Amino acid sequence: MAQFATSRSRALRRRETAVSYLFLLPALAIFSCFVVTPMVMGLVTSFTDSHMGGSKFVGLDNYIRLFQDPKFLRSAWNTVFIVLISVPVVTAFSLWVGSAIYRMKAGIRSFFRCVFYLPVVTGSVAVVVVWKWMFNTYNGLFNYVGTSTGLMTKGIDWLGDSRFAIWCILIILFTTSIGQPIVLYVAALGNVDQTLIEAAQVDGTSDLQTFWKIKWPSIMPTTLYVVVITTINSFQCFALIQLLTSGGPNYHTSTVMYLLYETAFKNFQYGYADAMGVVLALVIALFSALQFKVMNGGTTE
């Protein structure tokens, strides 16, 4: 990382600032208008008991109520569980796939990249429909294959059994999550400075060492991005759950996002739902800050 010489005059920094904000302007303008403003509105609502009939300021009541609500606590636990499992698995797996395919011939590489991206391409509804069919208790693919090959004596209620349901969600989440990281890793690995690699090979370092000492640091910005994004996506896993299990059985697959949706759109308690959203946002922000610290992706001032 370049270090700005200490002899830089403040005038230059001011000029930099002017230009910087000019460059930032388009993104910042749209961001402020369409993201920050609704965000603030949502935050304000979380301090009220807003529901369909009206709204009244209640201060921190919603937040206090949250931490005594068994549904919320259960959903929070599920959410953390999903994140803790999916993030390392997705990151590691996509890194592995990326490193395996980035050196392949362009055609094959494109093929694999495309294939792993397919679940993202086909959209949630269709993907869920297919998986739901596969997990079906009576005539789903898994039970069909399982019983006809003798692996199982009778079909399992994959989505209805509280032991398995969340693993089903995790599997589907996994398939939809690795597409983007793989694409990114292939690009990033391809961008690693070839001269450094060649130099290391001339020195006789093994493949594994080359990987850890040279490639890994080079792709650290990508890894940071992948980890943060996968964390955020896993925390906000929602459409999948809504379409597949409606949070069941008995809130065993309910995440905070899903509970938020249920509270807002089925029970019409907007204030309470927004409070959930704020808590979730804070947790995610905390996680992300931690990840930045640990990985130190070069965001120093």
Partner 1 sequence: MKKFLALILSVLMLVGVLAGCGSSKTNTTTSSGSSDKVSLTWWAFPTFGTDGAYEKEVIAAFNAVHPEITIDLVTIDFTSGPEALTSAIEGGTAPDILFDAPGRIIQYGRAGKLVSLDDLFTSDFVKDVNNEALLNSCKADGTAYMYPVSAAPFYMGLNKEMLEKANALQYVNLTGDRTWTTDNFIKMCEALRDANAAQTPGIVYCGAQGGDQGTRALVNNLYSSRIIDASGKWNIDEKGVKALTLLQSMVSNKSLDAGMSYAAADELQQFQAQTCAMTFCWGTSNAKNYASKDYTAISVPFPSDDGVPELEYLVNGFCVFNNGSDAKAAAAKTFLKFICDDSQWGPKSVVKTGAFPVRASFGNLYQGNDEMTLLSSWTKYYGTYYNTTPNFSAMRTEWWNMLQRVFQGGAPAAEAQTFNTNSNAAH
Partner 2 sequence: MKQKKSPYLATCTVVLIILAILFIFPLYWIVTGSVKDKTDILIKAGQAVQWFPLSPTGTNYDKLMNTTIAWPLFGAAFRVPAAVKWLFNSVFISVMAMLLTCVTASLAGYTLAKKQFYGKGFIFALFVCAMALPKQVILIPLVSLAKILGLSESAWSVIFPVVGWPFGVFLMKQFSETIPSSLLEAARIDGASELRTFWDVAVPIIKPGIGALAIFTFISAWNEYPLQLVMLHKTEVKTIALGIAGLQAEMSTDYGLIMAGAALGAVPIIIIFLLFQKYFTQGITMGAVKG
Contact set with partner 1 (CB under 8 A) = 49, 51-54, 135, 137-139, 157-162, 165, 245-246, 248-251, 262, 264-270
Output the smallest distance, CB 108 to partner 2, in A: 9
**Whole-number Å distance between alpha carbons of 222 and 298:** 11
Please give the backbone phi and psi of residue 163, each rounded to the nearest 5 degrees, phi first.
-80, -35
The 10 Å Cβ neighbour count of residue 156 is 18
Contact between 78 and 254 (Cβ < 8 Å):
yes
Buried b / exposed e along 260-271 (16+ C-beta atoms within 10 A): bbbbbeeeebbb
Query: DSSP characters for 93-140?
Result: HHHHHHHHHTTS-HHHHHHHHHHHHHHHHT-HHHHHHHHHHHH-TTT-
Residue 116, interface with partner 2 (CB under 8 A)?
yes
Residue 147, helix vs strand vs coil: helix
Q: Which does 36 bind (CB under 5 to 8 A by kind): partner 2, partner 1, none?
A: partner 2
Q: Could you give the angle at the alpha carbon of 91 between the alpha carbons of 89 and 96, nearest 5°?
A: 95
Binding partner 2 (rule: CB under 8 A), the pick from 57, 73, 88, 103 is 103
Q: Which does 137 bind (CB under 5 to 8 A by kind): partner 2, partner 1, none?
A: partner 1
What are the residues facing 269 on neighbouring strands? 51
Output the smallest distance, CB 214 to partner 1, in A: 30
Binding partner 2 (rule: CB under 8 A), the pick from 73, 84, 125, 199 is 125
Among candidates 244, 88, 109, which has minimal Cα distance to 177? Answer: 88
Binding partner 2 (rule: CB under 8 A), the pick from 73, 88, 123, 212 is 123
Output the smallest distance, CB 78 to partner 1, in A: 15
Binding partner 2 (rule: CB under 8 A), the pick from 60, 84, 121, 199 is 121
Binding partner 2 (rule: CB under 8 A), the pick from 16, 57, 64, 152 is 16
Q: Which does 113 bind (CB under 5 to 8 A by kind): partner 2, partner 1, none?
A: partner 2
Binding partner 2 (rule: CB under 8 A), the pick from 90, 173, 186, 241 is 186
**Whole-number Å distance between alpha carbons of 190 and 185:** 8
* Nearer residue to partner 2 within complex by CB, 147 or 249: 147
Instruction: Identify which range of 62-70, 81-89, 97-105, 149-157 contacts partner 2 by CB under 8 A.
Output: 97-105
Tell the residue number behind the tokens 């992706």, with chain if given. Answer: 297
Q: Which does 224 bind (CB under 5 to 8 A by kind): partner 1, partner 2, none?
A: partner 2
